[in-house]
Each structure stands twice: as structure tokens, then as C-alpha cells.
Chain A
Amino acid sequence: KQEVTQIPAALSVPEGENLVLNCSFTDSAIYNLQWFRQDPGKGLTSLLLIQSSQREQTSGRLNASLDKSSGRSTLYIAASQPGDSATYLCAVRWNRDDKIIFGKGTRLHILP
């Protein structure tokens, strides 16, 4: 069964620290992996998308990496700010399948 797992479920860190969020998936034959941000009571905003042929993608203070062989992706946030507080979700699409499966998310709280 294709599953996506995010650990930890919640994380609190002081402002200014660098941090890493983890996403793991079963079945390494993925097509792509996408990281989203969700603020309380709001929809999802796409942050980064990594194709299966790529190792990483960067946008500002965010860097997402992909290691297909180990079934893992990480989202690195540099110099965290209180405005980064949100839930971060990863979603995986597998080859020859239009379904996209989400992890349950990591709820991030940046302490001022």
C-alpha cells in the first residue's frame, strides 16, 4: 500500500534556528513529491515540487531534498521566523497513477 508519513507531528523551535521537516514514503517509484504549507483555517499553498529525477529544489529560505532510494524527503527551513508557523504537508504522486497521497503534516510553531 502506498503511504506517506511525516514525523514529528508537531515541532516547536526558537526563532532564528534552522530546522528540518521529514517526509517518508513507501514504494520508491514516485513521479514527484510536493511540499505544501497550510495556515489555520485556510487552504494549502504549494511551496516546492520535486520531480523524481531531481535531488533538490530551493525557494528563498526553503530547500527540499529527495532521496528516492531511501524513500525520504526533507524540507529545510533556514533562519526560522514566527511567520513560518503553520502546518507543513508533503504529498506524493506515484508513476502511472493520477492519485496523490498526503502525509498527515507537521505542525510547526516558531517561538518569538
Chain B
Amino acid sequence: NAGVTQTPKFQVLKTGQSMTLQCAQDMNHNSMYWYRQDPGMGLRLIYYSASEGTTDKGEVPNGYNVSRLNKREFSLRLESAAPSQTSVYFCASRANRGYVYEQYFGPGTRLTVT
């Protein structure tokens, strides 16, 4: 049981390049999330997926797209990277245990856009 995994751990992009951040969970969770974390800004929700086949915008969706490929995987795509997207990106999934909904986080992807 690996929990929530993210790849890559680190990435450097040039402005205008594209890339996809991968996230997978093996806990059979329905809900998955993408956050970015910037100094002094806390964690901000980019997109989330309440179930396979559905996605919704969070607080800061501009410049990003997501795909909920199946129940396990939720990817985040930057079509044309900008320096403002330099950040640490966290994927999370949420447990459904009765009425208890607890979030579990991946280790993060540190992205630098030059």
C-alpha cells in the first residue's frame, strides 16, 4: 500500500513548455485533488475530482487542465508553462470511511519554470 504517489519529484521547464504531473493512489478513494503551495500563500486548490469521470475547478485553475483517467489516477497538465507556475504541487486523495473523510497527501512535485 503506497498511499498517494506523485511523479516527477522535481522538474525544471522553460517558459512555454508543456508537461503533465502524474498522481496515483492505491487506497480506492473516490475524491482526488491538486494543490499548489507557494511561500506565504498556503495551499491553494487548483482542481478536484469527486469521482471518476468528473472534475471541478478550485481556487486557482487558470493555466491548468486535469484528467481523471480512472479511479486511481488524476493528472495535472500545464499546456504552456509560465514563471508564475513555479511552485510545489501536491496531489491528495480523500478517504470515505463511513462518514469520516480524511485527506491523504503525496510527497509533492517541485516545479521551476525559467
Contacts and interface: CB of A to CB of B under 8 A. Distances in A.
Is the pairing of A and B real? yes
Interface of A: 31-32, 34, 36, 42-46, 49, 51, 89, 91, 93, 98-105
Interface of B: 31, 33, 35, 40-45, 48, 50, 56, 58-59, 90, 92, 94, 99-108
The prevalent SS among residues of A at the interface is strand
Given A43-B107, A98-B56, A102-B35, A51 B100 contact: yes
Contacts of B40: 104
A46 to B, nearest CB: 6
A43 B105 contact: yes
A44 B102 CA distance: 12
Contact of B90 (A32, A44, A51): A44
A31 B43 contact: no
B100 A49 contact: yes
8 contacts: A32-B100, A42-B107, A44-B43, A46-B103, A93-B101, A99-B58, A100-B33, A101-B59
A103 B45 CA distance: 11
Contacts of A104: 40-42
Contacts of B59: 101
Contacts of A31: 101
B48 A32 contact: no
Contacts of A93: 101
A32 to B, nearest CB: 6
Contacts of A99: 45, 48, 56, 58
A45 B3 CA distance: 12
A46 B102 contact: yes
Given A91-B103, A100-B94, A101-B45, 13 more contacts: A32-B100, A34-B103, A43-B107, A49-B100, A49-B102, A98-B50, A98-B94, A101-B59, A102-B42, A102-B45, A103-B42, A104-B40, A105-B42
Nearest to A104: B42
A98 B105 CA distance: 16
Contacts of A43: 90, 105-108
B102 to A, nearest CB: 5
